[in-house]
Homo-oligomer: A and B are copies of this chain.
Amino acid sequence: MANIKRVVFFVSDSTGITAETFGHSLLTQFEHIDFDIRVLRYVDNMEKAKQACQAIENVVASEPQRPLVFSTLIDSAVRDLIAASGGVWFDLFDTFISPLQRELHQSPSHTTGRTHGVIDDSDYTARIDAINFTMANDDGISTRHYPEADIVLVGVSRTGKTPTCLYLALHYGVYAANYPLTEDDLLETRLPVGLKAYRDKLFGLTISADRLHRIRSQRRPASHYASLGQCRLEISQAEDLFHSSQIPALNTTTMSVEEIATTIMSRTGLAALSALA
């Protein structure tokens, strides 16, 4: 049986990140529907509000089912206009702002676009520094900057080290280095010499041999590097190393980059600079 289709609008006066993130979380609870998602960002004046209404009305007119509309709009004139269009309205903000207002005994500022737009110079610089650090320490060639690292991810090629490090730097301002275990490293049964001084910062990433084989095969099909046997060998050697050197490790087989990153934050107790969406 084909899945049911349903158009969904995420409407925001700013980046749309909150509407997207939250709306996506809700929709994953309904597995048998193919959601056709359309993000309307920066709907911050009446002209754009009219355009958004038109987009919604076009779907109302052409699809068998009314579109769902998830809103994080703050301006009440813009919001009222779009709420009156023919979509099924879910007001993510307004639902919680009133009870919050009562609890906090304060009026909301009704300022749009502050959510992801608060700029703090020192915070901004710290985050950029973390990104630069991570990009400069992505290959394991030198460990001389590891004294500045908050964490050093260790693992064989294609276990998710680079994207995880970048996510940690970009979102949490964490100085994340990454050390790829080479075949030479793996032949030794102990920690590579260069890593010994940083044992407390090491965190291992591992993965199932099957998935590693699939990932590597997409990059270098039919290579020794991508072969299941080689993947099995490397993973087994790496896991032995994590175990014998008491390096905490995470199996990333079924995890997304943001799951790996947040799990590491949670397990290591690393402090985020401040949460970015």
Tell me whether A31 is interfacial, beta carbon within 8 Å: yes
Tell me whether A125 is interfacial, beta carbon within 8 Å: yes
Size of the chain A interface, CB-CB below 8 angstroms: 81
- When distances are taken between beta carbons in the complex, the residues of chain B under 8 Å from A29 are 74, 97, 100, 108-111, 114
Residue of B nearest to A113 (CB): B259
Which residues of A, 69-114, contact B by the 8 Å Cβ criterion?
72, 74, 88, 90, 92-93, 95-97, 99-101, 103-104, 106, 108-111, 113-114
A257 touches B30 (CB 8 A): no
State the CA gap A108–B138 with chains docked (Å): 41
State the CA gap A28–B124 with chains docked (Å): 18
Residue of B nearest to A35 (CB): B104
B93 touches A25 (CB 8 A): yes
- When distances are taken between beta carbons in the complex, the residues of chain B under 8 Å from A162 are 128, 131-132, 135
Q: What number of copies of this chain does the assembly contain?
A: 2
**Which among B111, B115, B135 is the interface contact of A24 at CB below 8 angstroms?**
B115
Shortest distance in angstroms between A263's beta carbon and chain B's nearest beta carbon? 7
0 or 1 for each of A139-167: is its CB under 8 Å from B? (1 = yes): 00000000000000000000000110011
- When distances are taken between beta carbons in the complex, the residues of chain B under 8 Å from A18 are 21-22, 25
B170 touches A41 (CB 8 A): no
Where the two chains meet, the residues of A that have a C-beta atom closer than 8 Å to any C-beta of B are 6, 14-18, 20-22, 24-26, 28-33, 37, 39, 41-42, 68, 72, 74, 88, 90, 92-93, 95-97, 99-101, 103-104, 106, 108-111, 113-119, 121-122, 124-125, 127-128, 131-132, 135, 138, 162-163, 166-167, 170, 214-215, 218-219, 254-259, 262-263, 265-266, 275-277
A-B contact pairs, 24 of them (CB 8 A): A6-B104, A21-B22, A21-B275, A24-B115, A26-B97, A29-B97, A30-B106, A31-B109, A32-B106, A68-B100, A95-B96, A117-B254, A117-B255, A118-B256, A121-B218, A124-B215, A127-B163, A128-B162, A128-B163, A131-B163, A135-B135, A135-B138, A167-B170, A257-B276
